[in-house]
Structure 1
Amino acid sequence: MPICVPDLPTQRRIAGILSAYDDLIENNLRRIRILEEMAQSLYREWFVHFRFPGHECVPLVDSPLGPIPEGWEVKSLADLCESVDYGYTASASSEQIGPKFLRITDIVPENLDWAAVPYCEIEEKKLAKFSLKGGDIVVARTGATTGYAKRLNKRHPEAVFASYLVRLRIDPAFSNRHVGTLVESDDYKAFIRTNLSGSAQPQANAKVITSLKLAVPPEGVARAFDRLVEPLFDQKEQLNDRIRNLRQTRDLLLPKLLSRTT
């Protein structure tokens, strides 16, 4: 197919303009990774090593998980959930025919790019059942990426979740940020891998996904953790919005730059 190719100096000028956008995108991605590492480090410090504020004054007691701070309880993920649900079965569409349709392929990358998430048709009476809201956690239950998860924060479009995902809606008595940080960790993926069923197509049902045991802190410790990590999650969300805007601007700019050379 014949195409118009600008001369090399023009190509380099165009590449320079586009590279500036790519550099900004990469810089924001690095900042997001740092924020994620900060949240995970804080989680491990408080809830794995039990070095939370005031831990020096709290003795350790025996539990099914080994020594845990006095006043903490051992619970399963299922105990912390208000509801555990399988997703909606539908065909994805690039046309805006309904809410966003969140799938496994959308939650596997480091960052959830809502601009790339397709849409689906859904009856109004089913929308409430499958709708996602802030604090919900979705976990992949089949395929090579079983156990991958994402917690939704505050800023997201109207969306439902697909059938190969399981939604964990955390009881308000517990911290969804605490649970979300755990479920997004490599430790949780490793737990799921050791409990998979099926050989050709690995899978984990809702019972397996919510069977992990963890040490649950008193409300005061959980809320203190929330206060520390909430700004991290909010900033991460803002950076994702900037990345999406930069990508859209870059993609719109490219044809305009090329058209000026012809």
Structure 2
Amino acid sequence: MSKFPREVLGELITHQKGFAFKSKDYQETGIPVVRVSNFTDDSIDTSDLKFVSKEIANENQKVALKTHDVIIATVGSWPKNPASIVGKTICVPSEMNGGLMNQNSVILRVNSQCETDQKYLFIALKTKLFSEYLVSTAQGSANQASVTLSDIFSYEVEWPEPHIRRSIVSMIDSINQKIELNRQTNQTLEQIAQAIFKSWFVDFEPTRAKAQVRASVAEGRIPGSDQNLPLDFSKEDEEKLVERAAMAAISGKTPEELDQLNPEQLKQLKNTAALFPDALIDSELGEIPEGWEVKTFGEVSKCFDSKRVPLSKKKREEKKPGNIPYYGATSVMDYLNEYIFDDIYLLLGEDGSVIKEDGSPFVQYIWGKAWVNNHAHVLQGINNVSTEHLMIFIQSQNIAAFITGAVQLKLNQGNMNNIPFLDAGKKINNSFYKFISPLYEKVREISEENKTLMDLRDALLPKLLSGNLAINEVTI
């Protein structure tokens, strides 16, 4: 029982429904448009935004977003698909200030126009109680649910005295800031891994750098200039230039910066540079480095789908309480006290939510004890291709051509295994893993820290909001 007074939500806020922007108005750059599909658990994923012109944005300033706006998805799925659940509630991050809100959503702002109250509003609505209330009032078909504004605004939210609201906001803010900083760090680590992959396996920069030096020397020119080679230029000189070009491509450093590296770093770079060929050849995928081989996804992955076990809601209830994630096609759907997997795996959506608008697949990187239902393929890399390598590769692919089904999209195992994969060979693949392995080890470590922080926050919230736990009783 709450010790704090409750206020009707509709009396505390003003609101604005999202606008139905037309797909024909979308363009590559401009003012970002946020769709409910961009919602994360509590914020906005900026990696898949749409954009409109300034002119269209100026005509729709009523749906312009402000930092700390609270947004509720008024249309979504039922709880069986928590990633897109109706009533998902998020807070607008500072980088989306000035963006525009698309349809199937409502923006909430407190009447007081106080930043602390706005933050408190999000905290007070980011509870299991509010989420369950919205689901209980939702209506719709088997695959889509919607909640009315009147039902949203009828909810009674805990609204204590201003000094208590400030204290709660201060405490939860400190936890959320740690979580967000960790998320940004992980995003940076993954971007570094993806950049290395793109350089080596997509743009072939080390190979191209070598090939360009060879071509210049063959023409009698000093690489990177129009000057002729000196008369005493030797084969040994050429090999040194080839090596340095590849080292610069791999490290992203200039020749001057290479000279500043310590001997151990230079040795590692030289060894890595030596692995790359110095010529490109034609293949079914276009130009690829000489000696590399076009294989299939199935040849470099091991599928554990036969170990999956789907559980009905009733069966899941029998395996509670627990903290072991139960994964679906795109996200964690529940938590259990039993597991069937205990390792590092790549999950690819098999049916339902299979691909994003850009054609890339829904991917989950998991580790430790887990249970996976039959809506996600369970995979590991094999034959000198790491699971992380496999993941970065598939994240970069447009797999639309391998998807079947008109109403229920599906990536069946046969089609998945036929996706072309460019294999650079054991030595380069292993070298790539040495580069990215520490990055993903840190990603896992930081993710575990965030899980602990989120568990702490979620345990504190109901107690703080009910008044059953005083701020001065909490130590973080």
Q: TM-score, normalised by structure 1?
A: 0.80
2:335 to 111, 118, 134: 118
**1:142 counterpart residue number:** 351
- Residue 405 of structure 2 corresponds to 198
* 1:72 corresponds to 2:292: yes
Decide whether aligned partners of structure 1 residues 28 and 203 sit closer, same or farther in structure 2, where only a CA change above 3 A counts.
Answer: same
Q: SS at 1:200's partner residue? A: coil
For 1:5-154, what aligned pairs fall within 5 Å after superposition? 5=5, 6-52=160-206, 53-54=272-273, 58-83=278-303, 85-86=305-306, 87-92=308-313, 93=316, 95-96=320-321, 100-106=325-331, 117-119=334-336, 127=340, 131-134=341-344, 136-146=345-355, 147-153=361-367
Once residues 105 and 120 of structure 1 are traced to their aligned partners in structure 2, the CA distance between those partners, rounded to angstroms, is 21
Gaps spanning 5+ residues in structure 1: where? Answer: 108-115
State the AA in 1 paired with 2:311: A
Give the CA RMSD over aligned residues. 2.8
- Find the counterpart in structure 2 of residue 110 from structure 1: none
- Residue 475 of structure 2 corresponds to residue 254 of structure 1: no
Does 2:386 match 1:175? Answer: yes
Q: How far apart are the structure 2 equivalents of 1:173 and 1:261?
A: 55
Distance in 1 separating the partners of 2:171 and 2:304: 47
Counterpart amino acid of residue 346 in structure 2: I
Please give the alpha-carbon distance, in whole angstroms, between the structure 2 residues aligned to 1:74 and 1:236.
30
Please report the TM-score for the alignment, with normalisation by the length of structure 2: 0.46
Paired with 1:91 and 1:152, the residues of 2 have a C-alpha distance of 22
1:96 Cα deviation from its structure 2 partner: 4.1
Residues 10 and 101 from structure 1, CA distance in 2 versus in 1: closer, same or farther, beyond 3 angstroms?
closer
1:217 aligns with 2:424: yes
Residue equivalent to 1:235: 442
Fraction of identical pairs, as percent: 21
Q: C-alpha distance in 1, partners of 2:428/2:172?
A: 46
Whichever structure has more strand as a proportion of its residues is 2
Question: Whole-Å Cα distance in 1 between the matches of residues 420 and 451 of structure 2?
Answer: 37
Looking at structure 1, the residues matched to 427 and 414 of structure 2 have their Cα atoms a distance apart, in angstroms, of: 29
The answer to whether 1:165 aligns with 2:319 is no
> Which deviates the most, 90-99 or 14-23?
90-99
Residues 59 and 133 of structure 1: CA distance in aligned 2, closer, same or farther (over 3 Å) = same
Structure 2 stretches lacking a partner, 5+ long: 6-159, 207-271, 356-360, 472-476
Match of 1:112 in 2: none
Q: CA deviation at 1:260?
A: 4.7
State the one-letter code of the partner of 2:363: A
Number of residue pairs the alignment of both structures matches: 239
SS of the aligned residue for 1:62 comes to: strand
Q: Is contact 2:380-2:386 (8 Å) kept?
A: no
Structure number with bigger Rg: 2
Q: Is the 8 A contact 2:327 2:371 kept in 1?
A: yes
Deviation readout 1:66-90 (Å, 9 max, x if unpaired): 1211121100101112445353222
Deviation string 1:162-216 (CA, Å, 9 cap, x unpaired) is 1111122332433332112112x1x32x22x233221111112111122211210
Distance 2:162 2:387 in 1: 53
Once the two structures are superposed, residues 8-49 of structure 1 have per-residue CA deviations (whole angstroms, 9 ceiling, x without a partner) of 112111111111111111111111111111111111111001
Instruction: Return the alpha-carbon distance in structure 1 between the equivalents of residues 446 and 338 of structure 2.
Output: 30
**Larger relative CO (CA 8 A, sep 6+): 1 or 2?**
1
Larger mean Cα displacement after TM superposition, 89-98 or 193-202: 89-98
Could you say which residue in structure 1 is the equivalent of 2:4? Answer: 4
> Which one is further off, 88-97 or 15-24?
88-97
TM-aligned CA deviation for residue 101 of structure 1: 2.8
Distance 1:2 1:133, change over 3 A: closer
